[in-house]
Structure 1
Amino acid sequence: MRPGRPGTRPIFLVQPIGGTVYTYLPLARHLDAGGAAIFGVRASGTDPGEPVLDEVPAMAERYVADILREQPEGPYTVGGHSAGGITAYEVARQLEARGQAVKLLILDAPSMPAVYDDVIETIDDFLRSHEAFASCESTSYQSFVAALETDPALRQIVLATCLAEQRYKPRPISAEVVYFAASEQRDARDTHAGMYWLDLVEGEFSLYRTPGDHFTMMDDPWVETLARLIDRHLARDLPRRA
């Protein structure tokens, strides 16, 4: 999504519910991240002939292989928005199981109890579970909803990802986790999702609040603040200039 300067550690952003990584383009434009390259990790099934995966560990295994091809050795910086944050968590766990150090950026992912509460077998079920966002100002979200009506491949990936999430039982990790919560929480059932992930993390955990709701936080102009918060946190790892 963006080339990086030599010697910098890349950032890998895992696909959210729709399988593609276009939602990260505004963030990639605003992030400085010390000049790091930014990669989007797309879902299997977004290209013709690829299998559509419906298990989070299998999805993460594929993504870990993609990441290792670009960066054979850690430490790693991995992130994901919404459903992408859940899959990125498993990516971090699998990298950690290989003995690698990981910094995980979770961008307003739901808690798993909230995920388990939603029984989603059809696209209508999915849309009903997101009724609170019907009036959302996010143009990318509205475009996503419109695409669901005409793109059968997108619908297949969305439903497979929902099924994968409902089957997933995350295990504790020791990676450093940074959770970014949207200030405007439209889903009244899950207003403190960050606390769920805090209870799973055995390493360092940081929590930031960023403007916008679950979807607008990824769009201009709200995403500018998210980028600044990520940059501020990542700057702690950058070498200081003499």
Structure 2
Amino acid sequence: MATCYIKAIQTVRPIGPYYLGGWSFCGVVAWEMARQLQVSGQEVALLALIDSYTLTTPLEQIDEAFITNSLLSDLGAIFGSEFSISDKELQQLQPEEQLSRILTEAKPLNILPPDIGIEQMGQLFEVFKANLKAMYDYRPLSYSGQTVLFCTSYEASEGGWSSLAAGTLEVYTIPGDHYGIMQEPHVQVLAKHLETCLESFVRQ
């Protein structure tokens, strides 16, 4: 995934310096992109991780019910609604029945568009599943560039990056939780810190 993104970026900007960043899983992808670019001799001026973290849980311990509930949790949190179905209930349903159940319960909460169908829901699930699998499979290597981590005050943590950052690692705490950091009003605090960091690194 990181390699594909690098190729896409370099069709527009073949040579650095590069400024990379991402929220949650996308921050993990950005870390690997920065590492690969640095190994290839390219300059990465700044890597910004927005409430991203490393994972240590073996993928073998994760079943379809966990993946489905992770998707439900994400959708609910993004749209400000409590949304979950117990693992026990999900385990009693076939995959298509699980998706149908999600559609039935999510649409009245305006978590999903009213016209989304089972086929589109299946595609969304497969993309989410692939991303989740990639995140659990990935074992990050050290990176020696300049990294900025924006973590939330809800669960302030360096996300496991301090042991991997061979270069500088600056940590900023932003109000809110994992989802609120990207929403008003907390995203304004994030934007201000990010703007300051970019201005600082551009001047260097």
- What TM-score do the two structures reach when normalised by structure 1? 0.62
Matches within 5 A, 1:125-140: 125-129=66-70, 136=77, 138-139=78-79
- What TM-score do the two structures reach when normalised by structure 2? 0.73
**1:146 and 1:61, CA in 2 relative to 1: closer, same or farther beyond 3 A?**
same
Match of 1:223 among 176, 187, 196: 187
**1:41-82 CA-partner distances (Å, limit 9, x unpaired):** xxxxxxxxxxxxxxxxxx011000011112111111111111
Residue 172 (1) aligns with residue 148 (2): no
Question: How far is the alpha carbon of 1:195 from its aligned partner?
Answer: 5.1
**1:126-179 CA-partner distances (Å, limit 9, x unpaired):** 35457887974x427889964798521111011011111121111111111110
Native 8 Å contact 1:118 1:129 kept in 2? no
Aligned length: 173
Native 8 Å contact 2:152 2:176 kept in 1? yes
In structure 2, the partner of 1:104 is 47
Native 8 Å contact 2:151 2:171 kept in 1? yes
Matched position secondary structure for 1:207: strand
CA distance in 1, matches of 2:22, 2:163: 19
Q: Which has the higher contact order (CA 8 A, sep 6+)?
A: 1
In structure 1, the partner of 2:35 is 93
Matched position secondary structure for 1:106: strand
In structure 2, the partner of 1:159 is 129
Matched position secondary structure for 1:198: coil
Residue 234 (1) aligns with residue 193 (2): no
**1:159-211 CA-partner distances (Å, limit 9, x unpaired):** 011111121111111111110001113xxxxx52x151011011111000111
Residue 67 (1) aligns with residue 9 (2): yes
**1:174 and 1:154, CA in 2 relative to 1: closer, same or farther beyond 3 A?**
same
Gap regions ≥5 residues in structure 1: 1-58, 186-190
**1:7-39 CA-partner distances (Å, limit 9, x unpaired):** xxxxxxxxxxxxxxxxxxxxxxxxxxxxxxxxx
Instruction: State the structure with more CA Rg.
Output: 2
**1:82-130 CA-partner distances (Å, limit 9, x unpaired):** 11111111111111111112121111112222x54784342x3135457
Structure 1 vs Structure 2 CA RMSD? 3.0
**1:206 and 1:149, CA in 2 relative to 1: closer, same or farther beyond 3 A?**
farther
Native 8 Å contact 1:141 1:215 kept in 2? no
CA distance in 1, matches of 2:110, 2:12: 29
Native 8 Å contact 2:47 2:146 kept in 1? yes
CA distance in 2, matches of 1:238, 1:96: 18
CA distance in 2, matches of 1:133, 1:60: 23
CA distance in 2, matches of 1:238, 1:211: 26
Gap regions ≥5 residues in structure 2: 83-108
CA distance in 2, matches of 1:220, 1:197: 26
CA distance in 2, matches of 1:94, 1:179: 19
Identity %: 28
> Normalized per residue, which structure has more helix?
2
**1:141 and 1:64, CA in 2 relative to 1: closer, same or farther beyond 3 A?**
farther
